[in-house]
Amino acid sequence: MTFKSLLLGAAISSTLVLSGCQSAYYSAWEKLGVEKRDIMVDRVENAKESQEDAQEQFSSALEEFTALINFDGGELEDVYNDLNDEYQSSRSAAEEVSSRISKVQSVADDLFDEWEDELDQYQSASLRRESENKLRETRRRYDSMLKAMRRAESKMDPVLQALEDNVLYLKHNLNASAIGALQGEISQMKGDISSLIADMNSAIAESDAFIKSMK
């Protein structure tokens, strides 16, 4: 696809998404030679990238909170502002992950519905059987990938809540004793973020395998 086509496609996509017309959205892309299958792969790649970005952001937030334990003087308000920025960035990263996973699921549902309907158009029994087997295998790979994505996604909210709790506590207690009170919380946070990152790695690996199977 040419760069000009990509720009045209982006413009069409923005207009149609705003209008909420999904069928027209797909139709416009098909005129550019882009099928639902291509859109699905692209969205899986985007979801994978958003998870990679979220991993980096949650790791960055953990580093900032861990550094708080070693605080040895300075303006606690500045520390609070830095931690609050990390929390807000983490929340934005998590929202992007959820949004992109939902976009993957949306196009996947449409692709599989269309594929299922088109099986009845085959005249050749052997070709239909082959296509049906391919559909079944693609769904299996997709379901495994989506499950891994959603599992990682489910671990983001508890981490975000812990980050928010710690930020709020520090906001309301800008003194050295507050730092000591947060040490146990931060230790728990380390385990939760490590678990989240491990699940994201699994989801990313599933995404890579799915993308490879679709190309």
pLDDT tens for 35-84 read: 999 999 999 999 999 999 999 999 999 999 888 877 766 678 888 899 99
Structure tokens that stand for 147 in this block? 């499950």
Distance between CA atoms of residues 167 and 8, nearest Å? 44
Question: What pLDDT shows up at residue 140?
Answer: 97
Measured between alpha carbons, how far is 14 from 30 in angstroms, rounded to an integer?
15
* pLDDT mean across residues, the chain: 88
Q: Provide the whole-model pTM.
A: 0.85
Which region among 9-13, 15-19, 55-59, 159-163 has the lowest average model confidence (pLDDT)? 15-19
Task: Give the chain's radius of gyration (CA, Å).
Answer: 22
Q: How far apart are CA 190 and CA 186, in angstroms?
A: 6
Residue of higher predicted confidence among 20 and 207 = 207
